[in-house]
Structure 1
Amino acid sequence: MNTSMPKGMTYRMTDTITNYQAAQLLAKAEEIALIQCSDRRNTSDPLPLGIYQRSGPNQGLYSLLDGDLDRIILQMRPGASEKDIREVRMILRNTVPIRQRTPNRDLVPVANGIFDYRSQVLMPFSPDYVFLSKISVPYNPSARNVVIHNQDDGTDWDVEGWMQELFSDPELVDLMWHIIGAVVRSNVGWGRTAWFYSSSGNSGKGTILALLRALVGRENCVSVRLADMDKNFALEPIMRAACIMTDENNVGEYVDKSSNAKALVTGDNVSISRKYRDAVEFQFKGFM
């Protein structure tokens, strides 16, 4: 390409880009936004930066983890210092759009797309839908109750039969299936919690929780004891969780603070303290 320039003037080639240029390029190349984590927002409240995941186990989600954004910054600007990374983040905070979490209660993000509960249709992932967590198993429209045969003792096992063995009351069996459905539909805001109680051990409580964690994915569940919910930084993990499951709450333990627990159940805003970062107003819609 021929160019004309004044005699004696030369172009100086640069081997790097500025932080501002890096931020502008990132904003064009990636889906980055400030994520509004509740239905109501005070304009003075800081919002977390989220970056859309196009592949990997978190495909279809906006990640709020600093590490996911920092890796992209370092790819765009190799050798960037910690100060450079902070500056790029600051520039992004002042230039990218604000996006609210998807409020549609019928949309369920799963491993292979977004399942529309109302229309029973699986849709592809899209950055237009803002989800922070999902169910780790894929939706399978042909799924059936599988019978597992044990050749050693000749017995058969299936999850529906096992559920009926756990409870003598058919209404409790039906309730347990409703609880499983509530855990999967993590964008509803149920206004209820489930408490498993038995006066003896080996009652199946732990096995049911293991089943639920396998269904949702361990990485999408958090365990926060009731007594810890008002402690600093205890709620930070729920920002990327589909549900809260706790195996044990101490017997006889007195809970003198429960405001956060009540807010999580009712879907009210909670202020989540984050280490070395601004607190975030968050609305939890999953099941506990």
Structure 2
Amino acid sequence: SNNIDDLLDKATKQQEKQKQKPVTMSQLFSILKEQGQNWRDEHVKVLKNGEEKIQHIPPRTIADILKRYVIFAVIGKKEKDFEKANLAYYDLDAGIYKYNVTNIQKLIIAVERSTSIKQRRETMEYLRLEAQRKHPTESRNLIIVGNGVFNKNTKKLEPYNPRYIFTSKISTNYNPAAQEPNFKDWSLSEWFKDIAENDKEKETLLWQSLACAINPNLTPDVAIFLVDSGQGRTGKSTFERLLENLVGIDNHAPLKLKEFEEDFKLANAQGVKLIIGDDNNPNDYNKTSENFKRVATGENVLINPKGQPPFSTQFNCFIVQSMNGLPRFKDDSDALLRRIKIIKFNHQYNDKTANKDIKEKYIKDKRLLEWILSKVIIMDFDFMTDTEESRQEIKELKIANDP
């Protein structure tokens, strides 16, 4: 009876183990390795000559083991999206769903390190076909940041949770106690007043741009154009870099106005929260702005990535474009122009005050970014402020573009 007790004991221990919920990715990997080992131990084949032969775990079983411990999903907004959706897994450390194929293959190898490329593909196909279909979280009241999910309704930070379907996040941490740092000869709030030339509405628009960069669900349909007259040193590109630093390196993509109309360039900007187009040439004539309009309004856009079949998707991002001089559009319809707010950078800083530290240190400073985030994350507005300056510029733009 001892033997039976031992076996039962082992079985109970196994069940206990199976209930383990990994909290970090490294815990997940050790559990997967252990589960793979257990399976091989239990499935040793004894040959006629008494030798033992280790069995390799078949793809179907690898998929079953993975499904026990890893949260997989295919993410889309509607039926058609799921057909072409790639397999995503929930990254326990990052708190977001990732499409990283290499990482999914590493999970497979943790269970069975002898899998061939073909077996890994097969395992992934089982996982993809059986993964739960999930819709992306698009609530304007939930913002995923560097250290959790900020809930605007409760004004509190919640821990990451797989029930929220996010595929990217703002890299700055939310710190409610953050204060504005004062650098020796520069402060952000003073600088904004400078750019705004003491116009309260324009200052508000600058802050609103930061708020939309971290939460594109705030105001749909708006793109910001940063304009100066090409004299340089106006702080325009510093403002762009600040936006990029706030959202983080994985969360922004470069795309100029005319590149929106180029299929594979547009494909590269998929999944980011912020699109920044630097130094658009004012002499570029934008014959078509179809895609630009569609991305700005969150409509479906056909994407054509290199070497992959084309598919349609929606962007959920905030668009910022910078230029010296107003852009030229063939389309000067209200539908296009009312999507645009213009911020002019009229203030030229002379070389002495154009402090190199601003770009290289201050706007990268963690304290500054956390303070900005703590301010803009709680902002609420349905429309971006329409400044007198922006209205005038749009009028000019209409006249300039009217044949």
TM-score normalised per structure 1: 0.86
Give 4+ residue runs of structure 1 displaced > 6 Å after superposition.
8-12
Q: How does 1:247-266 map to 2 (within 5 A)?
A: 247-266=278-297
> Do residues 184 (structure 1) and 222 (structure 2) align?
no
Name 1:152's counterpart in structure 2. Answer: none
Name 2:158's counterpart in structure 1. Answer: 123
- Counterpart AA for 2:191: W
Q: For residue 108 of structure 1, give the secondary structure of its aligned residue in structure 2.
A: strand
- Which whole-Å deviations, capped at 9, do the CAs of 1:48-95 have from their partners, x for residues lacking one? 21111111xxx1111123222222222223133322222122111211
Q: For residue 157 of structure 1, give the secondary structure of its aligned residue in structure 2.
A: coil
Show structure 2 runs of 5+ residues with no match.
Answer: 8-46, 320-403
Alignment check: 8 A CA contact 1:132 1:241 kept: no
Name 1:28's counterpart in structure 2. Answer: 68
Whole-angstrom distance in 2 between the partners of 1:19 and 1:274: 30
Alignment check: 8 A CA contact 1:188 1:285 kept: no
1:133 shift after superposition: 1.1
Whole-angstrom distance in 2 between the partners of 1:230 and 1:53: 33
Larger Rg over CA atoms: 2
Coordinate RMSD, CA, aligned: 2.3
Alignment check: 8 A CA contact 1:22 1:77 kept: yes
Name 1:70's counterpart in structure 2. Answer: 105
Q: For residue 277 of structure 2, give the secondary structure of its aligned residue in structure 1.
A: coil
Moved more, 231-240 or 191-200: 231-240
- Which whole-Å deviations, capped at 9, do the CAs of 1:194-228 have from their partners, x for residues lacking one? 00000021111100011111111122111112212
Answer 1 or 2: which has greater helix percent.
Answer: 2
Alignment check: 8 A CA contact 2:74 2:82 kept: no
1:19 shift after superposition: 1.2
Q: How does 1:84-103 map to 2 (within 5 A)?
A: 84-103=119-138
- Which whole-Å deviations, capped at 9, do the CAs of 1:133-159 have from their partners, x for residues lacking one? 11101001011222122xxxxxx3211
Q: How does 1:218-229 map to 2 (within 5 A)?
A: 218-229=249-260
> Do residues 144 (structure 1) and 174 (structure 2) align?
no
1:13/1:98 CA distance change after superposition, 3 Å: farther
Name 1:237's counterpart in structure 2. Answer: 268
1:13 shift after superposition: 4.7
Moved more, 123-132 or 63-72: 63-72
Aligned identity (percent) is 27
1:262/1:204 CA distance change after superposition, 3 Å: same
User: Which of 179, 185, 191 is the aligned partner of 1:162?
Assistant: 191
Alignment check: 8 A CA contact 2:212 2:219 kept: no
1:44/1:105 CA distance change after superposition, 3 Å: closer
1:245 shift after superposition: 1.2
Show structure 1 runs of 5+ residues with no match.
Answer: 150-155
How many corresponding residue pairs?
273
- Counterpart AA for 2:186: W
Alignment check: 8 A CA contact 2:74 2:134 kept: yes
Whole-angstrom distance in 1 between the partners of 2:136 and 2:51: 46
1:274/1:12 CA distance change after superposition, 3 Å: farther
Name 1:14's counterpart in structure 2. Answer: 54
TM-score normalised per structure 2: 0.63
Alignment check: 8 A CA contact 1:225 1:249 kept: yes
Q: For residue 129 of structure 1, give the secondary structure of its aligned residue in structure 2.
A: coil
